[in-house]
Amino acid sequence: MSDAELVRRYTEEFKNHSNFDVVDEVCSENFVHHLPIPGIPEGRAGFKALGQFVTGAIGDITVTIELIVADDGVVANRNRARGTRKADGKQMNWTEHEFWRVENGRLAEQWSVADGLDMG
């Protein structure tokens, strides 16, 4: 599986199907997510907790990769995402920009920024 295919698999399973266990398959044991969110642990456990936190607040999330580039163990992707805020049923749209470091066929690090200007 290519590095880009690995990121596509993560996106499809984790974000579109809420299969948080895919983290154990596609992320290295020492995975680092650079998302300093209070209360979210580090590593794979924290990455799963983050997914559960997001899907607890936003339903029917759909993420589409609009652009993906891979070179020498680094993948960059731009995503378009939408979902429904559970608190009030308001439709939400946002973009995500992610950078990944891939090592030995697994995701080793992730940096992510979400543009929430259209979150209502």
- pLDDT of residue 92 exceeding 80: yes
Cβ-based neighbours of 119, under 8 Å, separated by 6 or more: 85, 92, 93, 94
Where do the domains of the chain lie?
A: 3-115
Average pLDDT, rounded, for the chain: 94
pTM of the model: 0.92
Give the rounded percent of residues in the chain with a pLDDT score beyond 90: 88
Nearest-angstrom CA–CA distance, 89 and 109 = 33
How many CB atoms within 10 Å of residue 44?
Answer: 20
Q: Residue 71: CB partners within 8 Å, gap ≥ 6?
A: none
pLDDT digits (tens, 9 = 90+) for 13-25: 999 999 999 999 9
CATH of 3-115, one of 3.60.150.10, 3.10.450.50, 3.30.1130.10, 3.90.1150.10: 3.10.450.50
pLDDT tens, residue by residue, 27-36: 999 999 998 7
Residue 109 pLDDT > 60: yes
Distance (Å, whole) CA 40 – CA 44: 11
